[in-house]
Amino acid sequence: MPADRRLDLDLLPSPFAVCRLPAGSSAPEWTAGALYSITYTADELSVVCPESAVPEAARSELGWRCLKVRGPLAFELTGVLASLASPLAKARVPLFALSTFDTDYLLVPGEALATALDALGAAGHRLHT
């Protein structure tokens, strides 16, 4: 991705959760919302979904805020995540990234949202909140 390319980012309105279920678990029926992701591996089943959908007993990290890269993004683009992750790393903001066929999503801790938005804006990305 050319260094001068800046991305448009939309802040999704609700907080999200990142959940871990044991390996071999079925997709939980509580996954819902305009954005949710289920990833199976040999070691775990990870779920990202709106925080409001997560049962109290689920092993989860709550309070993540989600930034959606306006897409669709062409598959041949390079450096998309790097252009977002680098300013966040410099600002010491953790991130959890998701990719879909059309675009990328970044989740940042809610308590670091202002710092993340400042860092991404300073890097030239356009923020729509």
pLDDT score at 1: 45
pLDDT score at 15: 97
Say how far apart CA 9 and CA 128 lie, in whole Å. 6
pLDDT score at 52: 95
CA dihedral (117, 122, 123, 129) positive or negative: positive
pLDDT score at 4: 55
Stretches where the chain sits below pLDDT 70 are 1-4
Domains of the chain: 8-128 (3.30.2130.10)
Q: Residue 47: exposed, middle, or buried by beta-carbon count in 10 A (0-12, 13-18, 19+)?
A: buried
pLDDT score at 32: 83
Query: Hunting for tokens 């308590």 — which residue is that?
Result: 111
pLDDT score at 76: 92
